[in-house]
Each structure stands twice: as C-alpha cells, then as structure tokens.
A and B are shown apart, each in its own frame.
Chain A
Amino acid sequence: MDKQFPLALLVSDSTIQPLADILQASESSISFQTRVAPYDQVVQTLLDTRSQLWQPIPDIVVVWTRPERVVRAFGERMRAQPSSIETMLAQVEEFTELVRLAAGQARMVLVPTWTSPYYQRGMGILDWQRDNGVSYPLARMNLALADAFVGSKNIFVLDAQRWFTAVGKRSADPKLWFLGKVAYGMEVLKYAAADIRAAWRALNGLTRKVVAVDLDDTLWGGIVGDDENIVIGGHDPIGEAYAQVQTILKTYKARGVLLTIVSKNQESTALRTIREHSEMILRPDDFVAWRINWQDKAENIAELAQELKLGLDAFVFLDDNPVERSRVRQALPEVLVPELPLDKLLLPQALLELDYFDTSRLTDEDRQRADLYTMEKQRGISKSGAGSLQDWLMSLELRVRVEPLNDSNASRATQLLNKTNQLNLTTRRLSETELRAWSDEPDHHVLVFRVADRFGESGLTGLASVRAEHETAYIDDFVLSCRVMGRGVERTMLCALSELAKRAGAKQLVAIYRPTGRNEPCHEFFKNESGMSADATNRTFRWNLENNYPLPAHVQLQLAGPSPA
C-alpha cells in the first residue's frame, strides 16, 4: 500500500500539539501533515474557514473539546450551580451548528465525545440525577452530539470514552493540565491517533475486505483429525472463547467482510467438521472460498486473491502459528497479519480490536457481499460448463440499469468510487459531499450502473462521470467493481457515456488513463477491448461520436430517472 500524507487540522481548547506529533509518526502507512489551530480558539477557528489554517482544504479536521468549555451551562452544573438540561442541549446545538458549517471546508470532520476524568466524582450518588448530577447531562450532551450529525456525510463522532477506559487512571493527568494545559494522557492520544488513522482508511477505501483464517487452534481449539475432540463451545472456557471468535467473524461478515479459509488440513475432514460439528457457529456457506491443503499458505492466499479478484492488500490473515504469520508477512507484505495472543482466552479481544474493517458507510451491498460472491461462484461453475465465452455471456441474461447520481444512490456510489482500485481509470477519491458538488457543476454528469443477471442482483457496481468541454466529453471517472468485470459491463458503460456525451453536444469522447500501480486491468480494457483509438502514449483513448458506440449483444440496457443530458 502506498504511503499517504493527508493533511489534518486539529482544533481544541486544550494543548493538542502532542496528538499532532503522534499523527506525524512515520512508522505508520499513513503519516499526517498536521496543522494546529491556536489554543482555545475553537469557535474562532470554526467560524473563520477562510483563514490560512483552512488552505488548502484539510483532509481531516479533528474538533476535540472539553464539555465544560463548550457547554457553559454544563460548567455551571459542575460547580453545583443551577443549570437546566435544556440550556445545555441548546448550547450543544450551537456548537454542532458551527461544526456543520466548517465541515463544508473539509473532506471529513471528526468530533471526539466529551469525557470526564475518573477522579471527577461529580455529585456522588446524585450524579445520574437529571437535575443535580454531572454524569447525566454529560451523557445527554454526547447523545445530542451524535444525533446532530445523523445524516451528515462527512462528520463522524469518535468514542473518546473508549480511549479513557483503555488507558485507565492515566487517561487524564492533572499535572499535564496544570503544567501544559494538556487535557489527555499520552496513551489516550495514541488511541485517538489510531482511530483517526482508521477513519482516514475508511474514507479512502483502504478498508480490508477479506479475512483468511486458519482452522486448528485459530477457529477452534485442537487439531482436527488428530485430536479426538476439537474444542469449541460447550462448558469450557477455551471452547467458549473459540465460539466467540466465530461469532466475531460472523459479525464481520455481516458488516461486509468476506470470510475465507487458509489452512493446512485434509479438506474433506475439515469441511465435514465445519458442516456437522454441533457447536460450530460458522458453516461452509459463511465462507466465500477456501484453500484447505498442505501447500504454502502465502501461495494459497495469492490464489484466493485471484479467485476473488481482489488485491492482496484487501486481506487480513489470522493464524495462531507465528511461523506461518512470519512466512505470509515476508512473502506477501501487502497482507495484514496481526499478532495473535498465545493465551486463547484473549483471542476474541484481539479480533475485536482490529481496526482495519471500518467503513464510512454501511450499505445493503456491504451486508450482502458474501452472498454476492457466492452467486459469482455459481456463475463460474456455469462458465466452466458453457461452450464459448459468447455462449456463456448470452446465457447470463445480463441486465444493466443506468441511473443519474441522486440522493438514494450517492452513498453507495461514493463508496464504490473510493474503494475500487483495479478497474478505475483515474482513481479519483472524493467524499460524498465532493462528488455531489462536482456532479452539480454545469456540464458535469455522473452515472451509476446496477448489474443483474439470472443468478441475482450484483447491485450498484459501476460509476462513470463525464465533463463536457466544448466539443469534447472527458471521462473523469470510470469505475467498475471487480465482481462484474469481464462480462461486457465495461462496454455497456461506454455505450451509455457516449449517448450522454452526444446529447451534451460533444463530438468525441476521451478517456485519459492515470496509472496507480493497481489499475492496470483498466488500462488493459481501454487498450484491448474498448474499441477506442489510442494516442502514441497509449494512455489517451478517443471515440468519435459520429459513430454509435455499440451495446454488447448479450446486455439489456435499462435507463432510469430523467435523462441526464
């Protein structure tokens, strides 16, 4: 994965420079450039988005405040002065409005929740009373903070309480406060930095998509085939831990992560156990693919990447064996291989702490991803049974539905734009707000493509945009999910784009390929299959719009919504 240097602006009413320092750390694959707003000038900074601090536009803005500073009525409550919940919530609203306004000047805004240090006992047994306590209004204020940003496309609330809980007593050190106005302990800042990096990965489609899991002593206790009984579930602490491991993996699957198996076992024995063991939580249907054999695991993972048409940097490999982990790390550095604890009771915790599966949206496609890959597998079986490629394509009964970008598809379209690497012409990454703004410009058009066939719906899997300038329509984005590559959808997209460009008055359609090291499949398509003429660099491709771009014979094209031209 290429190293990234996004720009972060930190806005706080405490000394936040130490967080900036940690974010700049170079050992991570993401090393932020940072800007720190002047100490305790939160309101001024959020209001004055024309200042130098906001130029160029930051990728991420972190607005981390102390509750008693932002919500004055809460400060009064801390001093046992009369103040109403309603006043506090009104002041929360004032703050969230400021954040919302500033969010127009950033790709993403992160707002940590308000916290209270452990030594703040508030009103003791009265602390959770509405009219007297401190904990009660703090909880209400945090809920109001979260509610205020529901529906926002680029403002996210981070759970700072989790960082405090993880660090314990040293989460807030009064000495740091009095000596340097540092409100949070260094360990808290490290947790914060990790979540900020995870947020950046989520925004930019750097999320891991596949878990490749070992079986013996990873998915269950013991060695299947050797041990009389493998350990899973039941009234046994280790068995319960493994049951939880499986539940966690099933939860990841429900979030859109694909589960695969890479394990050295007898395939038939292992699959029989997965299918028949009464305590198994994961069953064969939960896995989209597997390599259960005695071959090198790195080779097996590489094969799975090919089978699933995903890059190696989409994979997380889980294995209890440090030798296997080391081998995969060495052979496939793109694969994420987390350390796993020797103590099996700590295995569930290690899996829950993984922060590489975060996404900035959770769509229906995410929830159904495993099913979509299973359908893809059935297509593959059908392909092997068909005669020629054309016969197979005809047998698919492929339907492609074209829609202009709109409220209902923008979220998934943005996700596709930011997650797709291989069939991606320019690899332009935009937030939903940016994509919508771009689409609203005169002579800009964004189309999205839904693909279905006789095996089922593949969902919104394509996006393309054009920008008309005089008599030329430039393709700025041409993105197709690897799930539907190689079935003529690419040419269908060009057909739709050429019609749109023609109606916009263009005489030619131009695609300029921008290599990233990962999008060679897109280059191959434009060179070999698009039918467009290439220039001498073999990177600019043109279609003369006096000629109709042919729709593939096996595709049924459906248009939805108003004509985009």
Chain B
Amino acid sequence: MKPNHLERSDIAPVVLAALSHILSMHKPTQQIALDESTMLVGQHAVLDSLGLVLFAVELEQHLEDELELAIVLNDEREMTRRNSAFSSVATLTDFILAQLSNTTAPLSHG
C-alpha cells in the first residue's frame, strides 16, 4: 500500500499516540512529555528493550487502524542498529515516510 497523500503531519501524531499508549501501560508511574524529539532508544530513551518491542507492535497496529497502512516495523536488527530508525520519534516518522515512498526499500539499512 502506498498512499501518496499522507504527509509527515499525518504520521507523527500516530507515532506519538502509539508511544503514549504504550508508556501509559509500560511506564505507568512516569509522567513523560512527548514530542518529535523524544528519544526512543539509547541515552535518555523513554523505552527499554521490552518497551521498544511493545511499541513497535503497537505502532504497526495504530498505523493499520488509523491510516490503513501495512508497514513492518518489528525488525530486531533495525531496532538495535546504531543510528537506528528507532532513535527518536522524528527519525521513526522519517523512516515510515520513506517506507511509504519506496515500498521495496529494505527495512534494514545495514
């Protein structure tokens, strides 16, 4: 599926909503302000490794439910790679947009 009409402004809120949903359950005792600069992995990340897995699957479901996008995000190599697409909300949004513009692009750049 390649819905060309989708913009960054369509994708980023879905990423943030999925992240918020997972954090509300996975880190229920923390109050974390979320925006596109929020780091997902690495130093200052809001997610641990299990949280990242939960988030990836949750985001796939949100993209499917809200934007009818079938995108595969749960690539373990991508999640753990240096400079991973999962570094921040912004990089992940870029990654999803890139997937949309080139559906044949490999998920992992390594």
Contacts A21-B25, A25-B28, A179-B76; A186 near B58 (Cβ below 8 A) = yes
Chain B interface helix/strand/loop/mixed: helix
Chain B interface residue count, Cβ-Cβ cutoff 8 angstroms: 17
A26–B28 CB distance below 8 A: yes
Question: B57 at the A/B interface (Cβ < 8 Å)?
Answer: yes
Chain A interface helix/strand/loop/mixed: helix
B54–A22 CB distance below 8 A: no
What range describes how many residues of A lie at the interface?
A: 10 to 19
Separation of A169 and B2 alpha carbons in the complex (Å): 25
Question: A218 at the A/B interface (Cβ < 8 Å)?
Answer: no
Question: A562 at the A/B interface (Cβ < 8 Å)?
Answer: no
B50–A25 CB distance below 8 A: no
A186–B54 CB distance below 8 A: yes
Contacts A170-B61, A175-B74; A180 near B28 (Cβ below 8 A) = no
B25–A180 CB distance below 8 A: no
Separation of A515 and B22 alpha carbons in the complex (Å): 40
Complex interface: chain B residues within 8 A of A175 (CB) = 56-57, 60, 74
Separation of A170 and B61 alpha carbons in the complex (Å): 9
B29-40, CB under 8 A of A: which get 1 and which 0? Answer: 100000000000
Which of B26, B60, B61 is in CB contact (< 8 Å) with A21? B26
B81 to chain A, nearest CB (A): 15
Output the nearest chain B residue to A176 by Cβ-Cβ distance.
B57
A180–B50 CB distance below 8 A: yes
Which of B27, B29, B53, B76 is in CB contact (< 8 Å) with A176? B53
Complex interface: chain A residues within 8 A of B29 (CB) = 24-26
Q: Which of A431-456 contact B (CB under 8 A)?
A: none
A18–B25 CB distance below 8 A: yes
A18–B50 CB distance below 8 A: yes
Q: Which of A157-190 contact B (CB under 8 A)?
A: 170, 173, 175-176, 179-180, 182, 186, 189-190
Contacts A170-B61, A179-B76; A22 near B25 (Cβ below 8 A) = yes
Separation of A170 and B64 alpha carbons in the complex (Å): 13
A117 to chain B, nearest CB (A): 15
Residues of B within 8 A of A (CB): 22, 24-29, 50, 53-54, 56-58, 60-61, 74, 76
- Please give 12 more A-B residue pairs, beta carbons under 8 A apart, in addition to A175-B57, A179-B53: A15-B50, A18-B26, A22-B25, A25-B25, A173-B57, A175-B56, A176-B53, A179-B74, A182-B53, A186-B22, A186-B54, A186-B58
